Amino acid sequence: MDDLKQIGLGLTGFGVFFWLLGIILFFDKGLLAIGNILFISGVITTIGLKSSLEFFTKQSNFKGTVSFGTGFFFVIVGWPIIGMAAEAYGVIVLFSGFWPTVSVILQKIPVIGWCFQRSWFS
């Protein structure tokens, strides 16, 4: 893995961290907006600009892209609960195909990997 992909994964991780922090702190719109920006920039940095455009504009991902974009707009204008609900739906629709890969990676984590090796996660 080259340095650019590591930076992209770091940005994506920080984006998810700020999302969680924003939700824990009663849907703070500033933290949620920062999380959104870091998450999107991390995805683009990890897989590249051309691949990102192809991924987000693919016909099968159109519902997820529109939902995520609408949720981002609602977070920015000050309706973070509605925005995060729309974004959550968009993330599930967009990234649901990646669950098998994520599951294999999570099973290899030393401390918590045994939880993901159980039948209810497979």
| Percent of all residues in the chain with a pLDDT value above 90, rounded to a whole number | 73
Q: Could you report the per-residue pLDDT of 91-106, keeping only the tens digit for each?
A: 999 988 888 887 787 7
pLDDT at 89: 95
Domain borders along the chain are 3-116
pLDDT score of 122 more than 60: no
How far, in Å, CA of 75 to CA of 65, rounded? 15
DSSP type of residue 91: H
pLDDT at 120: 62
Q: Kindly state the tokens that stand for 112.
A: 């918590």
pLDDT score of 109 more than 60: yes
> Which position has the higher pLDDT, 70 or 117?
70
